[in-house]
């Protein structure tokens, strides 16, 4: 079920978002939703090419395993 969210914008923010939505021929709510979802996907999920580079680096994988094991055993020091 769809949820309703109230979003407080300045006049300038509203005008900028409205103009961008018009360029893409979208309602403002759809434009905001699409941009937020796009940002989440870009920020929180790794690119397949980058993941392939990480998984092919055996030295890095070894260090990650060591670090993971140490963290599980609560060894090492935590830096703020």
Condensed to tens digits (0 to 9), the pLDDT of residues 42-73 reads: 888 888 898 899 999 999 999 999 999 998 99
Which helix or strand (DSSP H or E) is residue 36 part of?
helix 28-44
List the one residue out of 60, 2, 73 whose CA is nearest residue 33. 2
d(CA 62, CA 76): 17
DSSP state of 25: T
d(CA 41, CA 71): 27
Residue 67 sits in the same domain as residue 50: yes
Q: What is the pTM of this model?
A: 0.57
Write phi, then psi, for 8 (nearest 5 degrees): -95, 120
Q: Is the pLDDT of residue 14 over 80?
A: yes
State the residue range of the domain holding 34.
Answer: 9-44
In a domain, 80, yes or no: no
Q: How many separate domains does the chain show?
A: 2
């Amino acid at each position: 079920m769809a949820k309703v969210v109230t979003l407080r914008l300045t006049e300038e923010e509203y005008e900028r978002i409205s103009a961008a939505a018009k360029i893409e021929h979208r309602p403002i709510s759809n434009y905001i939703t699409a941009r937020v979802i796009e940002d989440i996907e870009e920020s929180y999920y790794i690119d397949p090419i980058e993941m392939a580079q990480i998984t092919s680096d055996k030295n890095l994988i070894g260090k990650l395993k060591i670090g993971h094991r140490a963290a599980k055993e609560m060894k090492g020091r935590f830096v703020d």
